[in-house]
Amino acid sequence: MKLDNKIYKTILDNMYDGVYVLDKDKKIIFWNKAAEKITGYPEGEVLGALCSQSIFSNITSRNNQAYFGFFPVIRALSDGEIHEEELYLNHKDGRRIPVYSRAVPVKDKKGQISGAMEVFIDKSVQMSTLFKIAELEALTLIDPLTRAGNRKYTENIIGTRLNELERYKWPFGVLFIDFDDFKKINDIYTHDAGDKMLQTATKIMLSNCRLSDFVGRYGGDEFIVVVVNVDKVKLKLIANRFRILIERLRFKAGEQDIPITASIGAALAKIGDTKEELIRRADTLMYKSKLSGKNTVTTDYE
């Protein structure tokens, strides 16, 4: 099999997609300019090489599994079928390049397989765009100060859990946490100190909640913890664990230790609740904790 038609070569060399051709012995006999650009390997380093001994010897799938010689163009050469796949090529400088590959068999006039051609499209820009979109989505859901979920994210999580409660009877509860005398910390030690205190307290809450639970900043110094798979007893135990963790936290402003406590309202979700009703109920219980002397937990089922 020979590719000596200059017209076809010119056309293929001017494509944005990488194109290469194997003969029936699996040797690379054509390598276009886009293939050079995408992989970093010039034509002179590739032509005549066996496909299994060239840059394609370390091709991997999206989950980083090696192909061991059975990547699309080899399969097309073997079975005469068209094969399409998303995979990674290794660039000459060591980078992994995500590509979309389409391999087709090349047949002679008698219908016998005489080689195979593969076209591969560089998906790096597309992947980069997807990552940027994911980052932007995360920014709209994460509180920039504390790195907990923001108000929108918190309400979305509660809405999801209410749907699960309605459909599957999966129980959950909400803790409404408000730090006691937070305004005094801001007034006496500055807002920077108050921000650092919230960051420190949030780290404690995030590191001590279960993987299935959720911590969100609802506003100011108000936080909501969504706790799944709990009954009345377990919800109160978890609420008190958070209260004790916060109480034991000693935050420094300059050389001075600032004691921190929190008032907590704990409400079990009920079938038929809206997220607004559930949050309002937990908020009301938190205020009862304030009126009871602060640094305490109040539930609606005692």
Is residue 45 domain-resident?
A: yes
**Secondary structure class of 273 (helix, strand, coil):** coil
Q: Is the confidence at residue 125, as pLDDT, over 90?
A: no
Per-residue pLDDT, averaged over 284-297, amounts to 96
Whether 221 sits among the annotated catalytic residues: the reply is yes
286 and 151 in a single domain? The answer is yes
Mean pLDDT of all residues in 82-90: 84
Q: Quick check: is 200 in a domain?
A: yes
- Is residue 135 situated within a structural domain? no
Cα–Cα distance, 152 to 147 (Å, whole number): 14
Contact 156, 201 (CB under 8 A): no
77 in a domain, yes or no? Answer: yes
User: If pLDDT is split at 50, 70 and 90, which confidence band does 151 have?
Assistant: very high
pLDDT of 54 reads: 56
Give the pLDDT band of residue 178 (cuts 50, 70, 90).
Answer: very high
Judgement on whether residues 114 and 178 belong to the same structural domain of the protein: no
Domain count across the chain: 2
Please write the tens of the pLDDT for every residue from 197-235: 999 999 999 989 888 899 999 999 999 999 999 999 999
Q: What pLDDT is stored for residue 210 in this prediction?
A: 87
CATH code (residue 273): 3.30.70.270
Same domain, 13 and 157: no
Residue 82 belongs to domain spanning: 6-128
pLDDT value of position 284? 97
The torsion region of residue 90 among left (phi > 0), alpha (psi -120 to 50) and beta comes to beta
User: Does residue 104 share a domain with residue 239?
Assistant: no
End residue of a domain, out of 128, 151, 174? 128
Angle between helices 275-291 and 151-168 (to 10 degrees): 110
Domain stop point among 128, 149, 164: 128
Could you give the angle at the alpha carbon of 42 between the alpha carbons of 120 and 58, nearest 5°?
55
Say whether pLDDT at 32 is over 80: yes
Note the pLDDT of residue 140: 84
Q: Token pair of 110, please?
A: 């008698």
Let me know whether 196 and 100 are in one domain: no
* Joined tokens for residue 74: 């080899």
Task: Give the residue among 203, 192, 183 at the shortest CA–CA distance from 254.
Answer: 192
For residues 130 and 50, which has the higher predicted lDDT (pLDDT)? Answer: 50
Judgement on whether residues 147 and 255 belong to the same structural domain of the protein? yes
- Read off the pLDDT of each residue in 65-71 and give the average, rounded to a whole number: 55
Q: Does residue 56 fall inside a structural domain?
A: yes
Clarify whether residues 270 and 244 are in a common domain. Answer: yes
Counting Cβ atoms within 10 Å, is residue 77 exposed (0-12), middle (13-18) or buried (19+)?
Answer: buried
Q: Do the domain assignments include residue 181?
A: yes
Alpha-carbon span 91 to 86, nearest angstrom: 16
Catalytic residue among 122, 180, 221, 273: 221
Q: Is the domain of 204 the same as that of 123? A: no
Q: Is there a single domain that holds both residue 292 and residue 221? A: yes
CATH code at 78? 3.30.450.20
Shared domain for 173 and 113, answered yes or no, is no
Percent with pLDDT over 70 in the chain: 85
Residue where a domain terminates, one of 128, 160, 184: 128
In a domain, 1, yes or no: no
Residue 161 tokens read as: 């859990």
Query: H helices within the chain, ranges in order?
Result: 6-13, 33-39, 43-46, 72-79, 124-139, 151-168, 182-189, 191-208, 232-248, 275-291
Whether residues 171 and 268 share a domain: the answer is yes
**pTM to 2 decimal places:** 0.59
Determine, yes or no, domain membership for 25.
yes
**CA dihedral in degrees (21, 22, 27, 29; nearest 10)?**
-30
Classify 193 as helix, strand or coil. helix
Higher-confidence residue: 78 or 15?
78
Residue with token string 């100060």:
145
The rounded distance, in Å, linking the Cα atoms of 156 and 154 is 5
Tokens for 95, please give them.
Answer: 């980078």
State the pLDDT confidence band at 292, using cuts at 50, 70 and 90. Answer: very high
Cα diameter, the chain: 92
pLDDT in tens, 238-278: 999 999 999 998 777 777 788 899 999 999 999 999 999 99
Do 21 and 92 lie in a common domain?
yes
Give the number of other Cβ atoms within 10 Å of residue 241's Cβ.
13
